[in-house]
Amino acid sequence: MTPLAQKFPRTQTELKVLFAASEAAPLVKVGGLGDVAGSLPHALKNLSAKHLDAIDIRVVIPFYNILRKKYPSPQKIAQFTIPHVDGLLSATAYQMKLDRLIYYLIDGDPIHNTSGVYGTDPALDGEKFVFFSQALLEMARQIKWIPDILHANDWHTAASIYAMHTSRRFTADFFHTKSVLTIHNLPFMGAEAEKALEDYYLTKCKKPNLPDWSCKQPLPLGIFTADHIVTVSPTYAQEIMTPEFGCGLEDFIALKKENVSGVLNGLDIRSWDPLTDQSITSQYSWGSLDLRKINKLALLKEFDLKPDTDLPLIIIISRLFHQKGIDLAISALRKVVNYPWQAIILGTGEPKFEKACIKLQKDYPERVRSAIRFDLALSRRMYGGADMLLMPSRYEPCGLSQMIAMQYGCIPVARATGGLKDTIKDDPEPGNQNTGFLFEKANAKELTNALRRALKAYNKKTLWRSMQINGMNQDFSWTRSALQYASIYQHLRRDTP
């Protein structure tokens, strides 16, 4: 045992996890990361202690201005300073408890001097999250709650892992702490934080296997120093080791492949349940699928489309961006106009894709509707009444829409990438348990062929019904994901000196 290990022996049996994120529902949610940080800690907290160590997991996020209005009086637990090239910066930590889970909120000038969760000035965002990453470590020291596991998410908190690693040269506070970094979307590495890393004394690492440019960005530095790396689906874990998806880091990540796992994100199955969803006209289960026709008729009426339940209704619910393959979807729909179908598109995004969706409606006014807006309630009505969901993403680390669609008996047609490949079953062999239709290459021709297969299968009512039931019986619960994360935590803890 090393002298440091003798000085700081491990005595507790409870596993302490500090879960760091830029957003966490229900406090604040902008995107999918907010869903994960809002659901996974609760699922880990709720795991049975029968076969697992008790998990004391606590979430830490920045104390944004919007949170000040929502939660005006959290308990102040610490005030401290963070070193900066211009002098010491003051930081304050607060604590609140919500639904049996402890949340830490960290404030300081770099956080409350910006508006929103993610601002419009990349440099200010870079400083905000580097400051936050340093401050969450100092908070743990100040309140004397040193975690066994520091779990960071994406570039916004990846710097905390690098900072913890570099701090070990000067202090033994985090000697026993292991780190997990979850990558939700590799291309976003925090290039805007390059100057902030220097200003907060997080100097460039010297690692010959890392590209030089990456040694100045939070996410690659987190990947470099993390004890374990997790992606949000098993397939994405393999994809980021390839040139197509690795963003220039594929060779370095491949060197760490023994410490890379893919854990599929879960779905809040209590919220996304067609049997209890009050947003849809008629609630139903896999045993009462005929009731879906009521929802379909209501949806068709809402959009002034022909009220024919025998016509397949195709939907797109997506951000309208290149990554999501919106151009492929529009092209494929134009190529299958000789088939009977109707379509509804919901989403916002790049102006050129918004215009393309509107033009598709103008070109086919009898069968296409485009709703260029964000509308959660409408998305639920669409899942509950439509027959097919198009999801031709060029890459999709995990994806939730396909899981929701299957929960609601809506069959996904998607590219075989990332979490789409891991959640949708499309097996040509007899006796399969298929739940959707997949295509391999990100081009309109392959999507068109997959869409044609789906349109033909729709007319085989027994087959279609079996696919719906298969999808509705998939286990997408957070419990499954939490068990995998708990296993990773425990493995790391066993390896702790």
**CATH for the stretch 286-472:** 3.40.50.2000
Mean pLDDT across the stretch 23-39? 92
Q: Are 231 and 397 in contact (CB under 8 A)?
A: yes
CB count within 10 Å of CB 51 equals 8
Residue 219 pLDDT class (50, 70, 90 cuts):
very high
Three-class DSSP category at 345 = strand
Q: For CA atoms 112, 113, 119, 123, give the dihedral sign.
A: negative
State the pLDDT at residue 446.
Answer: 98
Comparing CA positions, the residue from 133, 21, 141, 127 lying closest to residue 78 is 141
Segments making up each domain of the chain, as ranges: 3-266+478-494, 286-472
Q: Are 467 and 457 in contact (CB under 8 A)?
A: yes
pLDDT at 1 > cutoff 50: no
Comparing CA positions, the residue from 383, 470, 377, 375 lying closest to residue 432 is 470
Predicted confidence (pLDDT) per residue in 405-426, tens digit: 999 999 999 999 999 999 999 9
State the pLDDT at residue 4.
Answer: 38
CATH assignment of 3-266+478-494, among 3.40.50.300, 3.40.605.10, 3.40.50.2000, 3.30.1490.150: 3.40.50.2000
Predicted confidence (pLDDT) per residue in 42-74, tens digit: 999 988 544 456 899 999 999 999 999 899 999
Instruction: Write out the two tokens for 44.
Output: 């880990």
State the pLDDT at residue 12.
Answer: 53
Compute the distance between CA of residue 477 and CA of residue 161 in angstroms, rounded to an integer. Answer: 28
Mean pLDDT across the stretch 428-457? 93
Alpha-carbon separation of residue 50 from 39, 54, 58, 100, 392 (angstroms): 21, 9, 21, 20, 42
Compute the distance between CA of residue 238 and CA of residue 231 in angstroms, rounded to an integer. Answer: 9
Predicted confidence (pLDDT) per residue in 381-391, tens digit: 999 999 999 99
Count the helices and strands in the chain (H runs, E runs). 19, 15
What values do phi and psi take at 320, rounded to 5?
Answer: -90, 80
pLDDT at 119 > cutoff 90: no
State the pLDDT at residue 53.
Answer: 66
387 forms beta bridges with none
Q: For CA atoms 396, 398, 401, 402, give the dihedral sign.
A: positive
Residues near 210 by Cβ (< 8 Å), separated by ≥ 6? 220, 224, 249, 252
Judge whether 3-266+478-494 and 286-472 match in fold. yes
State the pLDDT at residue 7.
Answer: 42
Rounded to two decimals, the pTM is 0.91
Predicted confidence (pLDDT) per residue in 248-268, tens digit: 999 999 999 999 999 999 998
pLDDT at 5 > cutoff 70: no
Residue 497 pLDDT class (50, 70, 90 cuts):
low
Q: Are 63 and 107 in contact (CB under 8 A)?
A: yes
Long-range contacts, 204-213 (Cβ 8 Å, 24+): 205/162, 207/252, 209/251, 209/252, 209/255, 210/249, 210/252, 211/248, 211/249, 211/252, 213/248
Predicted confidence (pLDDT) per residue in 323-344, tens digit: 999 999 999 999 999 999 999 9
State the pLDDT at residue 116.
Answer: 87
Amino acid identity of residue 194, one-letter, is E
Comparing CA positions, the residue from 152, 189, 158, 190 lying closest to residue 60 is 152
Q: Are 407 and 430 in contact (CB under 8 A)?
A: no
Query: Helix 444-458 to helix 326-335 angle, to the nearest 10 degrees?
Result: 60
Comparison of pLDDT for 445 and 214, the residue scoring more:
445
